Structure formats: C-alpha cells, structure tokens
Structure 1
Amino acid sequence: MSRSKGKRLAEQKEVRELLAVLKENNYSSAKDLLAAIRHVEELENQLAGAVKQLSVMQEEVQNLQKSPLKSALQASIHTLEEKAASLKEQISALKESILTGCRQALSEVREHGISALDNLSRFFHLRQGFEGVRDTIQEAIQTDTRAIVKIEAMAAQYHEAGKHLKNAGRALAGKEAVTEAKPIGKAAKIIAAPFRADRACLTAMKGTVEKALSGLERLEQSAPKKPSILKAMREQSEKIQAEPAKTEPSAKRTER
C-alpha cells in the first residue's frame, strides 16, 4: 500500500484495469464493483468527519469542573476514540481486500481468458468486512447516545434542584410554586452538541454500509452477459447424448 499511498481507491492501477476489462466485455458486475469501491471511499470521508468531532468533545469536556459527569464523558470519549481507530483499520482492510481481489481477477483473466470473470464475486470477500464495520459503528452510536442521556439527565437534575430553591423563595414571599423545571440550558446543549454531531456522522456511515451490503448482494447474484465456453460445450454435449434416446423407439417401429 505504501507505493500507492495518497491515491484514492478508484485511482489504483489494478482497480482501473479490472473495471476497464469488465466494461469492455459488457459485464454488469462492473457497476456493482465500482459502487462497492465508492462506498469504501465514502466511509473514509465520513469517518474523518466523526474524528473531527472527537477533538471538539475533548475541548468541551476538558473545560468542565471535576465531577462524576466529567469522568463519565471522558470515559465515553476514550471509547469513541478506540472505535474510530478500529473503524480506520477495518476500512483499510476493505481497501486491501479490493486491491487483492482485482489483482487475482486480472491474473485469472490472463491465464484462463475472459470467462474467468463470470463469477466475479469469488475474488472479493467483502461482506464480512462491511458487517464488521457496521457492528463497530453501532457500538459507537450507542456510546454517543449514552453520553447524551447522561448530559441531559445531569442538566435536568440541576434545573430540578434550581426549581426547588426557587419555590422555597416563592413560598416565603407567599407566591404560587412553579411546577415545571426549565428546559435543558445552553451549557448542556453545547456539551452535548459534538456527541450529537458524531452520532450523525456515524449514522450516515451506517447507511453507507447498508447500501454497500445491498450492492454486494447484487454482485454475488449477478450472472454474466454471455455463458462461458465451457458451459456451452457441456450443454451441447448433453444435447447430443440425449438425441439418440429420442429417435430409438421410431427406429424399432420401422424394423417391424
């Protein structure tokens, strides 16, 4: 990968060469393979957006006073950083799997001819990789959601306490008690914002993975535009062997 560092996946030599061969020979699988490549590139971009939010989280939480909430949020950020690192590795593995598959497919074409591409999906083992990415994303989304719930719960407790203090003052002044606490304040919204933004990035990534898995299903089920030569020869041989069996009864009637 070092020799092609910095290049987009679709720009890699082996990827461009295989896609060109598929298109020249009218294989519909070219479209599905290209879609899988685009989805991997999209995942990289979306992950970069999620990683940016981690820096914002760190800054916002660092400014909080020492408290159980701060410790809990710092633990959440640490978990999210680990998930981001895992996603980066998983996406890199998907890229390498695509490049390896392209090399193998091209090698088979050179050795056995174009019919080697009749079942293109056998060169690419991407389903498990995409499913692993989806699982990691889901775990990260749950981490963001739990952090947001903690922030909102702490804010609600703070405002509930404030309501009680306010009602104590109103009671002394002979005024009616306030029954509703104030909505979540600006500070809580600011702290929760990067967690919400990160969750949005991860949710978008999950959607990309679902699209990729749907495209893989089409790739796995796709049939070649034309049958392979070996298959055609086998079918013709079976047809020839079946013909004498059909004519045998009429021949016997002629002898009688």
Structure 2
Amino acid sequence: MKLLEENNRQGQAQDLSLLMFYMDGMTRQFEAVSQELQEVRQQLAQAQESPAKKAIGRMVEALGHKVEQAREALDDLRERITDCAKNAVENFKEAGVTALDKAVSAIEVKNVLESLQEKISGMIADTKQNIEKVESIGHELRSVGGHLKNAGRTLTGKEAQTVDGGQEGRFQSVVLAPMRTTQKLLSGMNNATLAAIGGMESLELSAEAAREARTERQAEKKPSIRQALAEKRAEAAAQPAPAQDKEHKAPEAAL
C-alpha cells in the first residue's frame, strides 16, 4: 500500500486498506461464531439423550462445517492478496508503476467475495431455519407435557388447563441463545462482505482508470514522435542542393 500511495495511487491504497480491515474483522467474526457453536455443543453434552438432542446436534455440526468452509475461503483470499502484494513489490523494480496496476487487477478477489457472501447468506438461512426447528421442538414437548398433566387432572376430577406450549424451557433457552447470537453475527458478516464487494469494485475501477490513462499518454507520445520525424524529413527536403565544384577541371581536348 505504501508503494501505491507513493505513486499517486491513493484511492487504490485506501480501497485495499479497507479490504484488509474487512478481512481482519471477518476473521474475528468467524472465531466468535465458532465459539457460539461450541457453546451449543457444550449445552447439548449436558442434556439427556433424546431425539431432540440428536436433531439439534446434527443441525449444529452441519452449520459448523459450513462455517469452517467459509473460514478456509477467507484464509485463501488473504494468502492470494499477500502473494500479489509480494509480486507487485518485486515487479515494481523492473516495470515501474505498471506493475502496481497489474497487481491490483491480478488479485481478482471480487468473485471470491461474492462466493463467500453466498455461503454466509446460506448459513443465515440455515441458522434461521434451525432456530425455528428448536423453537418448534420445545413448543411441542411442552405441549405434550401439558396434555399429560391435563390427563392427570381429569383423572383426579380437576379442571383441565389451556395448553399453549408455554415459555421456553431452560434447555431450549441455553441452546437458542448462542444460536440467535450466531444469526446476528452472520448477518453482520454478510453486510460487511457486501461492503467489501463494493470496495473491490471501486478498486478495480481505479486500476482500470489508471491503465486507460497510461494508454492515452502512450498514444499521445507516438504521434509526437511521428510528427518530429516528418518535420525532419521536410527540413531535409527544403535545404538547397549542394553547388557543383567550381574547381572541377574540364576534360582535356583530344590530341
């Protein structure tokens, strides 16, 4: 980025700096999501074996696998940017500022970011669906429990109570809390990724504008060279022909 700033590429340097800032933030967000999923696993480990526990466990493991895939994509992207930066520094010594513009174009992270955003968007949808399933499971379990209690009350001659599923139980609450936090974290990551995609579009446009400006300058120089050559030829043609040698002797008469 220092080379970009020193060679009148402040806009590109700023966009690249924002991209690195985004990636650092995303790394921290992925760590936070992993911690929340680990919290769900710990809560499940303390719960009694049941179909609900197994179902929630499968949801968490599937989401955790997708999180790791997205984290790996982010790590690959960081490595690509680092390699391009190293190559730009090495090539700058030989090709000058042209190497910087080519390096920015060679990063080509927009497609990677778009793919990452799709993964995150999918994880948000999965998390939302999982939360709804856990809420539904808890509601059904509480409803079943309520109906069983009503059966007992009926047998003892007591009036049955209305069954509505009640509030979330302790197990459901401790499982849902980290899942809801995960959903919020993923939503923030999705917004940050969309912003990074916009930043990359700006970075690519800046690099393209720099290439076009350089091409125009080169095109302007070529006519100047041709014009200079034409002027030299015109000057040469305008000069008078050299006079004949006055001391040139006439040929001797034949004897």
TM-score (norm 2): 0.76
In the alignment, the residues of structure 2 paired with residue 82 and residue 180 of structure 1 have an alpha-carbon distance, to the nearest angstrom, of 35
Gaps of 5+ in 2: 228-255
Q: Is the 8 A contact 1:171 1:177 kept in 2?
A: no
**2:127 is matched with which residue?**
144
Q: Is the 8 A contact 1:93 1:129 kept in 2?
A: no
Q: Is the 8 A contact 1:144 1:195 kept in 2?
A: yes
**1:95 is matched with which residue?**
78
Shift of 1:198: 1.8
**1:14 is matched with which residue?**
none
Shift of 1:176: 7.2
Shift of 1:93: 0.4
Match of 2:2 among 9, 20, 23: 20
Matches within 5 A, 1:107-186: 107-118=90-101, 121-168=104-151, 169=153, 173=157, 175=159, 177-178=161-162, 180-186=164-170
**1:31 is matched with which residue?**
14
Shift of 1:107: 2.8
Question: What secondary structure, in the 3-state scheme, does the structure 2 residue paired with 1:33 have?
Answer: helix
1:198 and 2:182 are equivalent in the alignment: yes
**1:231 is matched with which residue?**
216
**1:6 is matched with which residue?**
none
Q: Is the 8 A contact 1:155 1:185 kept in 2?
A: yes
The more displaced of 145-154 and 174-183 is: 174-183
Question: What secondary structure, in the 3-state scheme, does the structure 1 residue paired with 2:48 have?
Answer: coil
In the alignment, the residues of structure 2 paired with residue 221 and residue 48 of structure 1 have an alpha-carbon distance, to the nearest angstrom, of 32
Shift of 1:179: 6.1
Which one-letter code corresponds to 1:217 in the other structure? E
Gaps of 5+ in 1: 1-18, 243-256
| Percent of aligned pairs with the same amino acid | 24
In the alignment, the residues of structure 1 paired with residue 72 and residue 50 of structure 2 have an alpha-carbon distance, to the nearest angstrom, of 34
Query: Highest CA radius of gyration, 1 or 2?
Result: 2
Q: Is the 8 A contact 1:69 1:150 kept in 2?
A: no
CA displacement, residues 118-138 of structure 1 (integer Å, 9 cap, x when unaligned): 455312121122123223223
The more displaced of 25-34 and 83-92 is: 83-92
Shift of 1:208: 1.7
Q: Is the 8 A contact 2:87 2:103 kept in 1?
A: no
Which one-letter code corresponds to 1:190 in the other structure? V
The more displaced of 200-209 and 131-140 is: 131-140
**2:252 is matched with which residue?**
none
Shift of 1:171: 9.2
Shift of 1:39: 1.0
The total of aligned residue pairs comes to 223
For the aligned residues, what is the CA RMSD?
A: 2.8
Which one-letter code corresponds to 1:99 in the other structure? T
The more displaced of 42-51 and 145-154 is: 145-154
CA displacement, residues 129-161 of structure 1 (integer Å, 9 cap, x when unaligned): 212322322333233223212211111112222
Q: Is the 8 A contact 1:102 1:123 kept in 2?
A: no
